[in-house]
C-alpha cells in the first residue's frame, strides 16, 4: 500500500478535517482516504432497466397525455 505525505496544510483546514473525522468516528488519515476515494472513483453506472417502476406511486391516477399537454402549454 502506498504512503502519501501532505505538507503545508493550513491550520484551519486541518482543524476542520479533524472535526469531520471525529464526527465520523475515523482517524484523520482514514477521513482523508475516504475523501480522496469519493473524489476520484467513478460513480457506479445504473442500468436504465433498474429504473423501471420508480416513481410509479407518484404518478398513480395521473393521465399521462393530459400531463404532457399541460406541461407543453406551460412552455409558451
Query: CB under 8 Å, gap of 24 or more: what pairs does 1-6 form?
Result: 6/32
Instruction: Give the pLDDT confidence of 13-28 residue by residue, as tens digits.
Output: 999 999 999 999 999 9
Instruction: Give the pLDDT confidence of 41-66 residue by residue, as tens digits.
Output: 988 888 888 888 888 888 889 998 99
Cβ–Cβ under 8 Å, residues 56 and 49: no
The pLDDT score that the predictor gives to residue 26 is: 97
Alpha carbon distance 65, 23 (integer Å): 49
Phi, psi of 48 (to 5 degrees): -60, -25
Q: Is the pTM of this model over 0.85?
A: no
The pLDDT score that the predictor gives to residue 50 is: 84
Domain ranges of the chain: 11-40
Amino acid at each position: 500500500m502506498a504512503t502519501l505525505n501532505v505538507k503545508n496544510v493550513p491550520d484551519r483546514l486541518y482543524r476542520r478535517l479533524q472535526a469531520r473525522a471525529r464526527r465520523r468516528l475515523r482517524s484523520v488519515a482514514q477521513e482523508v482516504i475516504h475523501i480522496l476515494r469519493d473524489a476520484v472513483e467513478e460513480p457506479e453506472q445504473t442500468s436504465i432497466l433498474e429504473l423501471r417502476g420508480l416513481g410509479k406511486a407518484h404518478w398513480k391516477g395521473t393521465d399521462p397525455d393530459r400531463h404532457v399537454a399541460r406541461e407543453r402549454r406551460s412552455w409558451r
